[in-house]
Amino acid sequence: MLSQNRTFLLFVASLLFFTFAPQELRAQSGRTLPRPTPQEREPQEPIRIFTEEVRLPVFVTDNQGRFDPTLELSDIIVLEDDEMQEVRSVRRIPANVLLVLDTSGGINPVMRTNTTRDVALTLINALKPGDQLALVQAGDRAETLQGWTSDVEALKRVLKTKLSSGRKKRISEALMEAAGLLKNQPAGSRHLVLITDGVEANDKSYAEAVRQLNAAQVTVYIISYTLMGREAIQSNNPLVTYGGPPPRTANDTAREADPTIPVPRPNINVATIDTDREMRRKRKEYADATLKSEERLTRLAEETGGRIMLPASEEEMRQQGREVARDIGAQYVITYKPKRPLASSSPGEFRRIKVALRRQGLTVRSRNGYAVPSQQ
């Protein structure tokens, strides 16, 4: 009887052990035990971490438009939302230059891929050694033809072998592709050079592309085909054209042989009437679209501290490629800590910037502000 009671007590003790023993010990028994259900936590506000420093590219030239290498910290005045800021540093760093080449000629008779390629080659040959380069094509689709590289010869090979003509307009998509590539490069050194006529069918897509470029704090340069295109259309698309005198006939030869014949050969011009009304309408619409394009491309360049070029000839266009490279080479990067902390602003808040110089004889250009990022 005592033995049976002892056996019963051992059974009860074992049952209690496996019921209340710690999970680790029960797991060692080899049994698969259910995991406790985790308690739900209340959602927390995301932590916003800011680098309380603004890096601002500025372009400084003398009265002859040449780069001035002697700029000092004490020469610079920066106002953010009309409040004076304390500039911490001024220096030069290698540039990150992304080319966006529009290869969709369309109606514009002078917008050719070979010309765009020549301008791009002229530009990269004039950049400083050590600058990083990348290439995006806006043809039938937006695509990155060359990622970031300092190998100028490699980029030249890509320009000569992979650049191709297209029919569709993919400018907005290419600009968004460019913004994504540039935002991961060091702040203050992000440059985009766009060679295009800027005519874009989708205004909503273009607005989103501009928003992304501004968020990435990119300096935008534009070399535009618009002026050349309008002039070419105007000269090649008259309603009435005038030629020379009418063709010679046998009577004309007879009159010249016998001067006594009193009937002179009439000296009139031949008028040719262009009856292709549909083509003339499309060209007129395109010319009007280039005017709209110039307006918004000019705003984009000015807002970002860049420039827009409106060449009147292919040779002037190539020269402006060299000018853009020289302009990028005239860049300084200044840094300052905003007196009003970035963490106190709502994401996307726009802060206006004005930059001036204390020294006479120098000209400075910069972007007119920046949007506070959601986090850095």
Residue with tokens 């807002």: 303
pLDDT value at position 8? 46
Q: Give residue 322's identity as a one-letter amino acid code.
A: R
Least confident of 101-110, 117-126, 133-142: 101-110
Provide the residue ranges of all domains of the chain, joining segments of one domain with +. Answer: 54-234+277-371, 240-273
- Between 49 and 173, the higher pLDDT residue: 173
Bridge partners (DSSP) of residue 369 are 352
Average pLDDT on 143-169 reads 94
Confidence of residue 247 (pLDDT cuts 50, 70, 90): low
For residue 260, pLDDT over 50 is answered with yes
Average pLDDT on 183-189 reads 91
For the stretch 333-345, what's the b/e string if a residue is b when 16 or more beta carbons lie within 10 angstroms of its beta carbon?
bbbbebeeebeeb
Q: What is the pLDDT of residues 212-245, one digit of tens each?
A: 999 899 999 999 999 999 998 888 755 544 455 5
Is the pTM here over 0.85, yes or no? Answer: no
With pLDDT > 70 as the criterion, what percentage of the chain qualifies?
75
Confidence of residue 176 (pLDDT cuts 50, 70, 90): very high
What is the torsional sign of CA 228, 231, 236, 242? negative
- The CATH T-level fold of domain 54-234+277-371 is Rossmann fold (3.40.50)
pLDDT value at position 246? 55
Mean pLDDT (the chain) is 82
CB-CB contact of 362 with 61 (8 Å): yes
pLDDT value at position 345? 86
CB-CB contact of 225 with 112 (8 Å): no
For residue 3, pLDDT over 80 is answered with no
For residue 208, give Cα distances in angstroms to 88, 172, 181: 33, 8, 16
- Between 206 and 34, the higher pLDDT residue: 206
